[in-house]
Structure 1
Amino acid sequence: MISKTPTLERRTSALSKEAIIAAAIEILDGQGETALTFRALAARLATGSGAIYWHIADKQALLAAATDHIIAGITVDEVVAKEPRQAIRAFALGVFDAIDTHPWVGGQLSRDPWQHAVLRILEAVGGRVQALGVPADAQFNVATAIMSFILGLAGQYALGARMCEGGIDRTTALDEIAARWAQLDPENYPFVRLIATQLPDHDDREQFLAGIDLLLAGIEPLRHATAPRG
């Protein structure tokens, strides 16, 4: 009798973790997070669920691996990378664009603050904060403030993605929110009422970059405070 074990081993080894992650990203991008199941993944890869479990423990681990793959793919132009301030700005914008392209990434980043993808973001930002000459005792606060701003964006996009999955598009959602803001008590919410007219047409990318630039501008006093005096 011919044993079937070698065939099973070949099939398991042929199905790489990278192939599983790539297929998962295709499902996530095309159908959303709810559509990602091991059964759907097995069908797409023409294999059994057991072969997938050999590489990935569960759906949460798969989402974390897919998110890490996306974040790891963010690159900064070599010329820009030589200037730390511009490098932070470019990397942050890369994360923004990644979340814009893959809204499920925002959901995963906001779900688990200790996952490897978050560590990649912290390392990318923190290394450039050091290069800017921020004092050692301020580097933690500066780097985590920038990272927290980026992850705050991730949470917003995760919420927006869920709204879209429910059949509500961004324009409609913002119009409805702006209408509610406009009805607030003018004495208690004068500023909110003022910006209500700007909400529906605001540019998310422009708003995000403005926030990053404000954070970067706040680094300057820290650098000058420790700069040697001539």
Structure 2
Amino acid sequence: MGAMTKRTARAEPLSRERIVRTAVELLDTAGARKLTFRALTERLATGPGAIYWHVANKDELLAAATDTVVADAVSVEPGAGDSPREAIRSVALGLYEATEAHPWLAAQLAEQFARRPWGSVAPRVFEALGRQVRALGVPESGWFTATSALMHYVFGVAGQNAANTDMAADLPEGETRTEFLEAASRAWEALDPEAYAFTRAVAGQLRDHDDRQQFLAGVDLVLAGIEASVPGAASA
């Protein structure tokens, strides 16, 4: 039975694409710390030498896995009637949903942008957002700043979502996210009314907020600021 299983696993020729796809699966189930070449060789039923032929080391593997997921996330084709604003929202939402589906992704995005901006990930995200920023009519002098603002907002929320996911996994047995937010909301409502008047006022919104809708509302706020920089926008 073991031999039959191995033959089945090796039925698909070993390629860089297959190695990276398997790495993504391992990252999703076990996280970055447990992604090792040994784990890959077991999953792919091959030897480490065959993997090293396609991928030099773990850093290259993580970069390739990140790029594969990001490429899928930003490949949303705008509809024929979509405005640049709608296209930006689609790309942003694609990245947001990717970080929800792949808990390791937010940390790797930060890693790739901070340490390897010359790699494939940073240009891919910048291109997907920047083309639409340009299409909004933003002056060329503002392209980099506007695109960076969008990107930092998306990645900031992605990082917070990753932290929320980790937090949810550590909740006491039986406690739900709704119950956690309810407790947090009550704690805000109990704060000193003079020192924390605003925080008390929005405590109910903390309890009832929808993460996805809040994210898109934030994208719209950033876009409103970007669009205000377009010549003639104030009089439009």
Same fold (TM over 0.5): yes
Change (3 A) 1:103 1:81: farther
Q: What is the aligned partner in structure 2 of residue 3 from structure 1?
A: none
**Deviation of residue 149 (structure 1)?**
0.5
**Deviation of residue 92 (structure 1)?**
0.8
1:143 equivalent in alignment to 2:142: no
Q: What is the aligned partner in structure 2 of residue 7 from structure 1?
A: none
Query: Deviations 1:132-175 (Å, cap 9, x if unpaired)?
Result: 11111112211111111111112112222333454566445544
Q: What is the aligned partner in structure 1 of residue 217 from structure 2?
A: 210
Letter in 1 for 2:220: D
1:195 equivalent in alignment to 2:202: yes
Between Structure 1 and Structure 2, how many residues are aligned? 217
Between the aligned partners of 1:189 and 1:103, the Cα distance in structure 2 is 33
Letter in 1 for 2:105: V
TM-score, reference length from structure 1: 0.81
**Deviation of residue 46 (structure 1)?**
0.5
Q: What is the aligned partner in structure 1 of residue 99 from structure 2?
A: 99
Query: Deviations 1:161-216 (Å, cap 9, x if unpaired)?
Result: 33345456644554454454344333222222222332233111100100111121
Query: Deviations 1:105-158 (Å, cap 9, x if unpaired)?
Result: 122112332253232111111111111111111122111111111111121122
Change (3 A) 1:112 1:167: farther
Q: Identity percentage over the alignment? A: 47
Q: Say if 1:160 and 1:170, in contact at 8 Å, map to a contact too.
A: no
Letter in 2 for 1:215: V
Change (3 A) 1:39 1:134: same
1:103 alignment partner, SS class: coil
Matches within 5 A, 1:64-103: 64-74=63-73, 75-79=75-79, 83-103=83-103
- Cα RMSD (Å) of the superposition? 2.8
Q: Say if 1:81 and 1:87, in contact at 8 Å, map to a contact too.
A: no
**Deviation of residue 38 (structure 1)?**
1.9
Letter in 1 for 2:27: L
Change (3 A) 1:124 1:181: same
Between the aligned partners of 2:156 and 2:149, the Cα distance in structure 1 is 10
Letter in 2 for 1:155: G
Between the aligned partners of 1:167 and 1:54, the Cα distance in structure 2 is 43
Q: Say if 1:106 and 1:153, in contact at 8 Å, map to a contact too.
A: no
Q: What is the aligned partner in structure 2 of residue 163 from structure 1?
A: 167
2:209 alignment partner, SS class: coil
Choose 138-147 or 194-203, whichever is displaced more. Answer: 194-203
Letter in 2 for 1:65: A
Between the aligned partners of 1:177 and 1:36, the Cα distance in structure 2 is 35
Q: Say if 1:110 and 1:152, in contact at 8 Å, map to a contact too.
A: no
Between the aligned partners of 2:215 and 2:152, the Cα distance in structure 1 is 13
1:133 equivalent in alignment to 2:137: yes
Between the aligned partners of 1:141 and 1:227, the Cα distance in structure 2 is 20
1:137 alignment partner, SS class: helix
Q: Which runs of 5+ in 1 are unaligned?
A: 1-10
Q: Which runs of 5+ in 2 are unaligned?
A: 1-9
Q: What is the aligned partner in structure 1 of residue 111 from structure 2?
A: 111
Between the aligned partners of 1:158 and 1:60, the Cα distance in structure 2 is 21
1:153 equivalent in alignment to 2:160: no
TM-score, reference length from structure 2: 0.79
Q: Say if 1:76 and 1:90, in contact at 8 Å, map to a contact too.
A: yes
Query: Deviations 1:8-49 (Å, cap 9, x if unpaired)?
Result: xxx9xx421111111111122233334322221111000123
1:79 alignment partner, SS class: coil
Change (3 A) 1:226 1:183: closer
